[in-house]
Amino acid sequence: MARLLTALYSTLVYIFFFATFLYAIGFVENAVVPKTIDSGAAGGVALSILINAVLLGVFAVQHSVMARPAFKRAWTRIVPPAAERSTYVLLASAALALLFWQWRPLPQAVWTIAPGPLATAILAASLVGWAVVLASTFLINHFELFGLTQGWSGLLGLSSPQASFVTPLFYRWIRHPLYTGFLLAFWAAPHMSLGHLVFSIATTGYIFIGIWLEERDLVAHFGDRYRQYRATVGMVFPKLRSTAGQRQTR
């Protein structure tokens, strides 16, 4: 029964995550969803920036602290190991949902590109960024990354997968294509409001902090193999000369 409940829990969390991910696309692109990055009544600039910074900080702290190996070791004394990843994904998705709900718009235009081929190309680049994000997760085991594999392994009698070191497709040229996709999705905007700019600057800063933390863990786990990979493959943009190293799947 415990294994069945864990599998159901991981499935429900995954559905919540995927709904949040789809909402994030509409939120950033100002399309389809009821609350977007620029919708709603605008308030004072200083207060809005402060509230938005707190919302982004809640996500950043949760996302970084709970991903650290030391926290995981302590956390799994309370949460079953098979449910640890799903719980992390649940709380990260909840932090994003809170951000979408409470985000304060700052609609002042920073730049606007008139409708036409250039604006369409920039919008397409942003959508390509979202596609790269999703594709990158599948390249490094999407269902393990978001907790489904761990949640169902016990019920199906499967052993927990061991972290491997591979460089499929994008990872041959870029160490963190998932973050490259986010950068493209956030910055390729035909219309950039002040609120969108604040969001993009804050998330870009967090991305590079996250890369620094993640690479410390990767070096600790894989040692010289990852150091060689890091020396020859670009972080978020390809180097002129790169060698296919190996990559951890989480």
Whole-angstrom distance, CA of residue 245 vs CA of residue 227: 10
Query: What average pLDDT is seen over the chain?
Result: 91
Identify the residue whose tokens are 């680049």. Answer: 125
pLDDT band of residue 245 (cuts 50, 70, 90) is very low
Residue 223 makes CB contacts below 8 A (sequence gap 6+) with none
pTM: 0.90
Going by C-alpha positions, the residue among 228, 248, 53, 88 that lies closest to residue 161 is 248
Look at residue 164 in the predicted model and tell me its pLDDT. Answer: 75
| Higher-scoring residue by pLDDT: 241, 60 | 60
User: What was the pLDDT predicted at 156?
Assistant: 83
Q: How confident is the model at residue 55 (pLDDT cuts 50, 70, 90)?
A: very high
Annotated domain spans of the chain: 2-232
pLDDT, average across residues 33-58: 95
* Alpha carbon distance 93, 21 (integer Å): 8
- What value does the mean pLDDT take over residues 171-194? 96
In percent, how much of the chain has pLDDT > 90?
74
Q: What digits encode the pLDDT tens for the residues 100-140?
A: 999 999 999 999 999 999 999 999 999 999 999 999 999 98
pLDDT at 163 over 80: no
